[in-house]
Amino acid sequence: MRTARKLTASAALAVTSAGLLAAPAAAANAAPVGGLEVSPSTVTPGTTVTVRTTACGADGSATGDASAVGAGTFALAPGKRPEAASGRFEVPPSAQPGTYEIVARCAGSGPDDGKQVAGDLSVTLTSTASAREEQPVPVPVHPRGHVKTGVGGALGPDPVKTAAGVAVLAVAAAGGTWLLHRRARGDRI
Amino acid sequence: MRRTHRTQRRGRFGTSVIATVTALALSSGAWLVYEGTATRPPPQPSASQAAAPGHGRAGLTAAAPLPPSPPDRIRIPAIDVDAPLMGLGLTHQGSLDVPPSRHKNLAGWYEAGTTPGERGTAIVAGHVDNAEGPAVFYRLGGLAKGRVIEVERRDGGVALFTVDAVEVYDAKGFPDEKVYGAAARPELRVITCGGAYSKETGYQGNVVVFAHLTGAR
């Protein structure tokens, strides 16, 4: 939990500083201010994430940087939607939970060349991620080996059923004895 | 020995009641003793329930993943399973922990992993038996392909999975990746003990049911 908070704090700081740097540049270019849209913004490790930005202008491409989460760099190409560049990267299966800053730097010869935009990506393990983080030793993503889910109790004799059976047979024996006794007495049955 | 008609009639009636009770007691007692002393292993999957070549996809296509939500209950109508689910962690050896064996109608799910219905492999495990006798997944090995597994989720929805395969694996060389590994679609594994049994080592493997999400309600 503490690690995650630290990551969140540092990422937030990075976003703030990136925003401070990017804002004057955008204003100077009189271009629409666009951040980096990260979708989905909350993911589990191993998920593919799509990022999109309108900050690089028409037909603008960009280079994305997801090294904060361990995914390296990736390309953002002009998409179908005008003035938007998009790209994809995969969050490594080994990614730790926390909030990471994803950065994209516009490329090309236009006025937006070199402009940098950023967006946040949250990595969670599951809805119970917090419970897992409290464990001192990191646990593997999935269990190993077989599961010990039986002792063989279904295989042995069932003492309750056997005892009930014996009791019921005793009743039968008593009834049988009585009937035989009656017959011996000469009663017609 | 002199008797009135009435007492004779009553005597006859009493005799036939006792004769009936005796016959019933004889047959039910014999059945109880037979059942109580019989040693029958839990059902095991037949070869026809193994994954079909071609990745074992059942005819039904996969449903869209659901948002994460912890499960509360599992139902498998085909084998009369209806049991609450508890969260499970890992043992020191890294294997999946199991629910306390004294509760015979209780199963568990691996709560650090995928929730059932979400994209990925969700894992559910339960006992085949405990010291007293059969437990929640006693009949799991008898489950057939195409049967439905329902998982009640805390968000109020029910995830519906369809069985793709029922396999039995030896503890030695257990196929971890196949059973627990990540999946691109929402999948479910239901695991219990199975395989050969010996007094020294217990059950020597696991019955594993492979299923994938085919619907929700």
Name the pLDDT band for A30 (thresholds 50, 70, 90): very low
Instruction: State which CATH number among 3.90.930.12, 1.10.287.130, 2.40.260.10, 2.30.110.10 fits the domain covering B47-216.
Output: 2.40.260.10
Measure the CA–CA gap between A94 and A107, rounded to whole angstroms. 30
pLDDT in tens, A45-54: 888 888 888 8
Question: Are the Cβ atoms of B176 and A169 closer than 8 angstroms?
Answer: no
Domain locations in chain B?
1-38, 47-216
- Is the distance from CB of A69 to CB of A89 less than 8 angstroms? no
pLDDT at B202: 83
pLDDT (mean) for B14-37: 88
Question: Are the Cβ atoms of B112 and A156 closer than 8 angstroms?
Answer: no
The partner residue sitting opposite A142, judged by closest CB among B12, B126, B181, is B181
pLDDT at A139: 37
Name the residue of chain B whose CA is nearest to A130's CA: B112
Fold of A2-133: Immunoglobulin-like (2.60.40)
DSSP state of B77: G
The partner residue sitting opposite B26, judged by closest CB among A156, A172, A182, is A172
Question: Are the Cβ atoms of B115 and A126 closer than 8 angstroms?
Answer: yes
The partner residue sitting opposite B191, judged by closest CB among A149, A159, A166, is A149
ipTM of the complex, rounded to two decimals: 0.71
pLDDT in tens, B119-137: 999 999 999 998 888 899 9
What does chain A come to in residues?
A: 189
The partner residue sitting opposite A147, judged by closest CB among B111, B115, B191, is B191
DSSP state of B78: G
pLDDT at A36: 87
Pick from B31, B129, B140 the residue to mutate for testing the A interface (most A CBs within 10 Å): B129
Name the pLDDT band for B24 (thresholds 50, 70, 90): very high
pLDDT (mean) for B5-30: 82
Domain locations in chain A?
2-133, 159-189
Query: Coil, strand, or helix at residue B33?
Result: helix
pLDDT greater than 80 at residue B57:
no
pLDDT greater than 60 at residue B113:
yes
Could you say which residues from 24 to 53 on chain B have a Cβ atom under 8 Å away from some Cβ of chain A? 25-26, 28-42
pLDDT at A52: 86
User: Taking phi first (over 0 means left), then psi (-120 to 50 degrees means alpha), and beta for anything else, what does residue A180 get?
Assistant: alpha
On chain B, the residues whose CB falls within 8 A of the CB of A179 are: 15, 18-19, 22
DSSP state of B79: G
Could you say which residues from 89 to 118 on chain B have a Cβ atom under 8 Å away from some Cβ of chain A? 89-90, 93-96, 98, 101, 110-115
The partner residue sitting opposite B110, judged by closest CB among A143, A159, A171, is A143
pLDDT greater than 70 at residue A19:
no
Measure the CA–CA gap between A60 and A10, rounded to whole angstroms. 29
pLDDT at B2: 54
Sequence letter at residue A122: S
- Please report where in the chains the tokens 């100077």 appear, as a residue: A28
pLDDT in tens, B123-175: 999 999 988 888 999 999 999 999 999 999 999 999 999 999 999 999 998 99
DSSP B46-71: -GGGSPPTTTT--SSPPPPPPPP--E
Among A156-160, B150-154, B206-210, the minimum mean pLDDT is found in: A156-160
DSSP chain A: -HHHHHHHHHHHHHHHHHHHHHHHHHHHHTPPP--EEEESSEE-TT-EEEEEESTT-TT-EEEEE-GGGT--EEEEEE-SSTT-EEEEEE--TTPPSEEEEEEEEEESSSTTTT-EEEEEEEE-SSTTHHHHHTSSSPPPSS--S------STTTS--HHHHHHHHHHHHHHHHHHHHHHHHHHHT---
Measure the CA–CA gap between B128 and B137, rounded to whole angstroms. 5
| Closest CA–CA distance from residue B13 to any residue of chain A (Å) | 10
Question: Are the Cβ atoms of A182 and B111 closer than 8 angstroms?
Answer: no
The partner residue sitting opposite B203, judged by closest CB among A127, A142, A152, is A152
Give yes or no for A163 touching B (CB within 8 A): yes
pLDDT at B78: 95
Question: Are the Cβ atoms of A147 and B96 closer than 8 angstroms?
Answer: yes
On chain B, the residues whose CB falls within 8 A of the CB of A138 are: none
pLDDT at A45: 87
Among A15-24, A75-84, B172-181, the minimum mean pLDDT is found in: A15-24
**Whole-prediction pTM value?**
0.54
pLDDT at B54: 52
Question: Are the Cβ atoms of B95 and A165 closer than 8 angstroms?
Answer: no
pLDDT at A145: 86
